Amino acid sequence: MHKKGKTVVSEKEIAKREKKQSKFNRIKKPANFLFNVILGILSLLSIIPFLFVIIISFTDENVLVKNGYRFIPEKVSLYAYEYIVKAGENIIRSYGVTILVTVVGTCLGLFLIGTYAYALSRRTYAFRKFFTKVITIPMLFSGGMIANYLIMTKVLMLKESVWALILPLAMNSFNVIVLRTFFKTSIPDAVVESAKIDGASEWRLFFQIVVPMALPGLATIGLFLTLGYWNDWFNAMMYIDSKKWVPLQYLLIQIESSIDWLASNKSMMGVDGVVIALNLPKETIKMAIVTISTLPIIFAYPFFQRYFVNGLTVGAVKE
C-alpha cells in the first residue's frame, strides 16, 4: 500500500509539474496578437519591394522618367517585355537550358551530397574522420579561378559543354556539413541497426529508410542547389561561348549590357542610332528582367516548403 501510495503521489507530482510547464509555455492572446502583427509587417516589408519591381516593369518608360517610381503607374506599358520577347528563340532556348541544368544539377547534387553526408554521419564508418577533413579543406582553401579554369577546360575538357554548368555547383562543403549534422541528429542508430539486422543492404537502407526520414534536410539542401543553379551565370561566362548552352541569367545580362552600351554610345551610331537608343526601355527592362528570372523560382518554392517540417523521426524509436 505504501508503495502504491508513493506511486500515486509521484504521478500527481508529475501531473502538477506538467501543468505548470504548460502554463508557462502558453502564449497569451495579447502577446499572440502582437507577434502576428509583427510577423505581418515583416512579411509586407519582404513582399512590397518585389511587387514594386513588377509594377515598374509594366510602367511606360517615358512616364517613369517624368514622374519617377510610383506604386500606381500613370500609363501601363508592355514594351519592356515585348523587347525581351523579341529575342524569341534565344529566350526559349535559354529557359530550356536553365531548367535542364537546374533539374539535373539538383538531382545530381542531392545524390552526391546525401550519400557523402550519410557516410560521414555514421560512427561505424572507418574513414569518417579522414573524409571529414577532405570535405573541410575546400571551405578554407581554394585553388583560385585560374586553376579551376585550367582543370575544367584542359583536364576535364568541359569547354562548351552543359556539364560545365552542372558539375562546379553539384558538390558543396557547407551543404555536406549541414546535411551530415541533420543525419546525425535525426536518424537514430537503432533504426539503422534494425534495418541491417533485417538484411537490408546499404543502398536499400539509404533510399527506403534514411531518405524518407530525412526529407526536411534534403529539401533544404535541394532548395539551396536549385537557387544556386537557377541564378548562376558566372560559369556560363567562363566556359560557354556559343549560344547553344547559354542559360537564362547570362542571356538577360547580355541583353542589359547591350542596352547600356547603346544608351552610352548613341552619339557614335548616327541619327538612327540616337532614335533607337532613345526608344529603348532602360529602367523598365531591368525590372522586367528581374521579374522574368525570379517568378519561376518563387512558384517552385512551395514544393520545397511542404517538407520544411520537424518531428518526422519522433516515434521511430520507442523505449
State the sign of the Cα–Cα–Cα–Cα dihedral 157, 161, 167, 169. Answer: positive
Residue 19's pLDDT band (boundaries 50, 70, 90)? low
Q: Are 121 and 184 in contact (CB under 8 A)?
A: yes
Q: Are 290 and 304 in contact (CB under 8 A)?
A: no
Matching residue, cell 500609363: 75
* Separation between Cα atoms, residue 41 and residue 36, nearest integer Å: 9
Report the Cα 262 to chain-centroid distance in Å: 34
DSSP 266: G
Please report the domains of the chain, with CATH numbers, ordered by start residue.
Answer: 2-67 (no CATH), 79-305 (1.10.3720.10)
Q: For the chain, what is the largest distance between any 2 Cα atoms, rounded to a whole number of angstroms?
A: 107
Q: Which of 70-84, 168-182, 188-202 has the highest mean pLDDT?
A: 168-182
Q: Which of 99-103, 261-265, 276-280 has the highest mean pLDDT?
A: 99-103
Lowest mean pLDDT among 66-80, 118-132, 178-192: 66-80
Q: How far does the chain reach from its first CA to its final CA, in angstroms?
A: 28
Residues pairing with 59 in the sheet = 76
* Separation between Cα atoms, residue 134 and residue 65, nearest integer Å: 55
Give the pLDDT score at 205.
Answer: 86
Upper half-sphere CA count for residue 110 (Cβ side, 13 Å): 22
Residues pairing with 76 in the sheet = 59
Residue 5's pLDDT band (boundaries 50, 70, 90)? very low
Give the pLDDT score at 140.
Answer: 82
Computed over every residue of the chain, the mean pLDDT equals: 79
Q: Are 288 and 80 in contact (CB under 8 A)?
A: yes
Residue of higher predicted confidence among 134 and 8: 134
Residue 100's pLDDT band (boundaries 50, 70, 90)? very high
